[in-house]
Structure 1
Amino acid sequence: MKKQDYFKILILCGLLYMFCLFQFLGISLGRIGDGQKTGMKGTTKETIEHKTSSMEGEAPRIAITFDDGPSAHCTGRLLDGLKERGIKGTFFLIGKNAEENPELVKRLYEEGHLIGNHTYSHVEITKLSDEDAKKEIMETDRVISSITGEHVEYMRPPFGLWQEELEEELDVLPVMWSVDPLDWTTKNVEEVVNKVVTETEENDIILLHDCYDSSVDAALRIVDILKKKGFEFVTVDELLMD
């Protein structure tokens, strides 16, 4: 055997050993091409899929989330429907809207929903200077905490675009999503419902909006259908910290 061939065999054996080791330790390199936006630790589609499944006999858990509220026209009706069904959601609030609707923020908090930050004026964080990005987040936190008395720990950056260096500086955890029916692009309730109920799996995070009547209608139907399918709805913090 030539010396070069001998070294090639050694290298191939080494690579095979490393591959088997990674598989044994449960390390995943993830998939490419799902079209999910990145920049968040723990809630992209790939990382959600690798979360531990429910124990045998336990209901598969999912989280339903709402962006862009609170809306004086829609959020109250959504809260009525969720309360009637015993469901807790996660709401990522625009600071300006929260400032204009403090009674809805208070109701969200008192009824046990998780409140998150969605910037003060729904801007793309990555297009701002670090200072302006911090202001957008900190001002929203100030508005919400003045009503609830608690710091807002979770952040959903508009358009899913995020600056990771802000996480430690502002003590926030960005949260993305894994099921998005693009409800803001259509008033077709049936279309939104079908997309969500056919795509949702265990540990998924559903993205909807609480500023459109059609989205509220779709959200309540989605909850009814997925509950019948055996899913348990939890808030994002419960899903991620499990």
Structure 2
Amino acid sequence: MRTRTLLPSLLMLGTLAVTAACSSGSDGSSASSGARPGANPSPSPVRSVDPSKIKGLEIVSDSSEQSSCPYAASYPDVPGAEAMTATMKKDVEKRLADFRSQVCEGGEGDAEAREFNISYQFLVASGDVLGVRLTTQDASGAGSGVTTRTYWYDGKAGEYRTALGLVADGSQDAFVAALKDRLEGREGVDAAALDDLFSDPASRASVLDGMDFTAVGSLRVTFDRGDVGAPAAGSYLVTLPKKTITPWLSAFGKRVQRQTVKPSGSLDLGAAHVPEPAVPTHTASGDDDTDCKKVKCIALTFDDGPAAPDTATLLTYLAQYKARATFFTVGQNVAAHPGLVRAEARAGHEVGNHSWNHPDLTKLTPEQIASQLGRTSAAIKAATGKTPTVFRPPYGAIDDKVRAATRLSPVLWDVDTEDWKYRDAAKVAQTVIGKTQRNNVVLMHDIHPTSVAAVPQILRTLTAQGYHFVTVSHLRATL
């Protein structure tokens, strides 16, 4: 498995009824416009997929820790599904580039509302089909700023499919008629506009970009806020039962439905080569006995991982100098790369919590904060057997509400390398060497290959100057 970074230039009718609901919820109630993707995960009717079982999985990630330009974006890259990955890459990079241009460089919008986040969820990864949902939170936009889109890959045909590709061409009119029938009469829906919306092929494909199957084979169609009704009404969800939707499905749609209801347990998209993940076997010789009252200490910290193979390379560099560090991991990446998290702990490093998908915790409710941190702590414990005790709030954003929502101890930093902005190993190394002082906490990211490449020079130079590299908790305990 490998995690790469985006370029800096750079988202019932079980009873034949429809419910209006915010896209971040699933209880059918209308949530506030401040709802956030992944902020308060709730039980999903879609079968869960264990990403660590997807061979050769890469997580393409990028993020910033700058409060004036807060963003985090991730999407998966699965061997064999290159066409789907290319589509996600294009969509994500465009949206991220727009945000950076308008907010980070242009300074547009309310500073308090600035934040951009794209998180992912696997819908199906079985047999010869793959489905992914990207959820985008763009706080610089109108309304809640939450949008979703599903992406599909047909391994049998070797082609990317849109959500509408789940429905047979000859059945789309009947399918759309059923959707209109369930939407008309709902509060906030403009019935007159539905005809125009669904009759135009381009707008139809655009608005019907969020479809997935439930564990019993029903088809869910999600409409983002403002797609089919007044923005104030929230998003809308239509769920067509299996017996209704199955006759209208394409051959691909039926395979997706079948693999969702009864997964085969393996995924084969016909990739010519699936790389094997490299997991270091370094083992700590014992507890760290460094006394930071007597010697010069530094705590190197690495955010947003684990990333493969970059975290594995970093662990090797640290082992060469018997240096210890603290890794503030993102929950969705822990779920994808649990072996690397185990390797971190086995080598004597500290594994901390950096939330599930990197939102600004100060903008969440206490329940959402608890969910973000709780899910991540659970993933870390599942990988290492140990519950973390420290966390780093994304963007360093923390307030009394965040502190009250968790028992984890917050950790900020003294030296910001800004390595997310400057992808230059020499510059990152010189920043650490030139600015770091005794007992400082240094912020870096192991999702950036250039940052990992800077570590040997940092270790070599500062070791020669008499510094010792310890974990954050060890530094705190010995001062």
Quickly name the TM-score band, shorter chain normalised: 0.7 to 0.9
AA in 2 matched with 1:207? L
AA in 1 matched with 2:350? L
For the 8 Å contact 1:64–1:90, the answer to whether it is kept is yes
Q: What is the deviation of 1:221?
A: 1.4
Residue 322 of structure 2 corresponds to 86
Residue 77 of structure 1 corresponds to 313
Q: Secondary structure at the match of 1:146?
A: helix
Q: What is the deviation of 1:166?
A: 3.9
- d(CA) in 2 for partners of 1:185, 1:102: 27
Q: Secondary structure at the match of 2:420?
A: helix
For the 8 Å contact 1:70–1:97, the answer to whether it is kept is yes
Residue by residue, what CA displacement relative to the aligned partner does 1:89-123 show, whole Å, maximum 9, x if unpaired? 10000000000001001111111100000000011
Match status 1:239 vs 2:445:
no
- d(CA) in 1 for partners of 2:449, 2:382: 28
Overall identity of the aligned pairs, in %: 34
Q: What 5-or-longer segments of structure 1 have no aligned partner?
A: 1-35, 38-52
Q: What 5-or-longer segments of structure 2 have no aligned partner?
A: 1-65, 68-290
Match status 1:153 vs 2:389:
yes
For the 8 Å contact 2:303–2:445, the answer to whether it is kept is yes
Pairwise CA RMSD of aligned residues? 1.8
- d(CA) in 2 for partners of 1:238, 1:168: 24
2:344 pairs with one of 103, 108, 119: 108
- d(CA) in 2 for partners of 1:125, 1:70: 21
AA in 2 matched with 1:234? V
For the 8 Å contact 2:302–2:445, the answer to whether it is kept is yes
Higher RCO, 1 vs 2 (CA within 8 Å, ≥6 residues apart): 1
Q: Secondary structure at the match of 2:388?
A: coil
Aligned length: 190
For the 8 Å contact 1:208–1:219, the answer to whether it is kept is no
- d(CA) in 1 for partners of 2:328, 2:453: 19
1:200 pairs with one of 428, 436, 440: 436
**Any residues of structure 2 matched to 1:45-194 within 5 Å, and which?**
58-167=294-403, 169-194=405-430
Q: Secondary structure at the match of 1:206?
A: strand
**Worse overlay, 101-110 or 186-195:** 186-195
Q: What is the deviation of 1:170?
A: 2.4
AA in 2 matched with 1:98? V
Q: What is the deviation of 1:62?
A: 1.1
- d(CA) in 1 for partners of 2:404, 2:345: 25
For the 8 Å contact 1:74–1:212, the answer to whether it is kept is yes
TM-score by length of 1: 0.75
Structure 1 runs of 4+ aligned residues shifted over 6 Å read none
TM-score by length of 2: 0.38
Q: What is the deviation of 1:142?
A: 0.6
Q: Secondary structure at the match of 1:237?
A: helix
